[in-house]
Amino acid sequence: MSEEIIWASATEIAKRIASRDISPVEVMAATLKQAHLVQENCNAFITIDEEQAMARAREAENETPRGSLHGVPISVKDLCNTRGLRTTFGSQAFKDNIPTADCVAVARLKAAGAIVFAKTTTPEFGHKPLTEAPIFGRTLNPWDRTRTTGGSSGGSGAAVAAGAGSLAVGTDGGGSTRIPAAACGVVGMKQSLGVVPHDQTPDVFGLLAYVGPMARTVADAGLMLEAMAGPDSSDPHSLGRDLQGIQKAASQPLDLRGVKIGWRTHLGNSLVDRETLSAFEASLKTLEDLGATLIERDDPFENTLSVWGPLTFSIWACRFAQIEEKIGEEMSDTLRYWMNEGRNYGAVDVQRAMETRTLLYRQIQSWFSEIDFLVTPTLACPALPADQSPFDPVMINNNEAGGLRDGWYPYTHPFNLSGHPAITLPNGFTRDGLPTGGIQFVGPWLSDTRLLELSAAYEGAAGISIRRPSFS
């Protein structure tokens, strides 16, 4: 029964709990057992809250179902505030921090009946796509523990992929949900700007970061997103954002006959891994077989690191300066390095990046006057070595492909800058048993429900064999 529970979808678990075919206590006990196994092998959690999680499961067992996620275990990235549960941001400065309130997204998941059982690992303040930090060490990929999970939601990606809960909250400031989802072979979504309120950012008007779902299926991602979505006064981008039918869309495959899908193998990068490219081409064939009209988009596109970098690094330089003064060398050296980069940008550099961000939005949005969706790889190659240095070049096909951000995941941060919805799905495994790097679907602004319908159609037709990582 334990094995059956940990690999069941959240949608199935919620239905079985509601029908009293299974109890929240059974589900939580199995989840916690697997979480400890995953922690031992992958180091995916900063905190496992066994006592409170089991207590809440016992309460849920005797309650009328609260909502769509009643009794379903969920883990939360340790950048998101959780009331009464330690939230460290991966930093020694907050190692004993106990928030007095949940962030909006977590509060809504709890209101829908979900039970938070753990906080997942993140690099300090989510500052890099490799999940490691001074407070907990390094998180390893469950498919190959010599490889990284990616980041910065690496703990969430590892947990979901390895059966420690079917749902996890991630955040995405440049790809931080989609990168680990692709590296670990699960689903990760960055919704349109404002669909899920972000009440923790100090600069909501310059927002690049999103709180979003990570799951093993598109239906589960939609189930989770519907619970988190909707307007909140803390985030002006969310006002008026009241999308309907998110959960239904995620289990309702789109009829692709006549749908125009633009595709790109490159997005400001030069190299793609051979197996990643082969998997992507097979995915295009699947879409074509479903009736989609495929249109190659080969118009010029510049790598967006030159826009994302000045905006992001200057934000870090401002936001974390006092923390750096307080803890000094206890702060990650990589974060301190990029904060210093941020200090070196002038006001004109930052303003120029802001203006270029607007031009980028207009460029991407213009594509959707000719196509309905865009599809790209999510990563340029599968998961990198676990000890990859952020300052060393990424090697693809035995050649230097550029740096970590511009060479490995050039496909993700353009859409943080532009605000368009983007979702990554698994699309196979390499000969060595690693997820190939994922396929990313992108839609026009506020096309989130239709994007989920497209994803459901692809997922149903792709025939990706379901594998489960094992630990000896």
DSSP 19-39: TTSS-HHHHHHHHHHHHHHHH
Q: Is-catalytic flag, 77?
A: yes
Evaluate whether 247 touches 258 at the Cβ level (below 8 Å).
no
Task: Give, for 331, the enclosing helix (H) or strand (E).
Answer: none
CA 203/CA 361 separation, integer angstroms: 19
| Catalytic residue from among 176, 192, 238, 283 | 176
344 burial (CB, 10 Å; 0-12 / 13-18 / 19+) is exposed
- Residues across the chain: 472
E strands, 91-232, where? 115-120, 132-133, 137-138, 140-141, 144-148, 167-172, 187-190, 210-215
CA 135 to chain centroid, in Å, comes to: 21
Distances (CA, A) of 39 to 20, 147, 182: 30, 16, 20
At residue 167, the 3 state secondary structure works out as strand
At residue 2, the 3 state secondary structure works out as helix
Residue found under tokens 């109890």: 23
Q: How many CA atoms, within 13 angstroms, populate the side-chain half-sphere of residue 173? A: 25
Per DSSP, 404 falls in state I
107 burial (CB, 10 Å; 0-12 / 13-18 / 19+) is middle
CA 306/CA 298 separation, integer angstroms: 21
| Catalytic residue from among 68, 75, 77, 283 | 77
Residue found under tokens 């209101």: 111
Task: Give, for 263, the enclosing helix (H) or strand (E).
Answer: strand 260-263
| Catalytic residue from among 68, 75, 91, 152 | 152
Instruction: Say which amino acid occupies 214.
Output: M
* Residues annotated catalytic, as ranges: 77, 152, 176
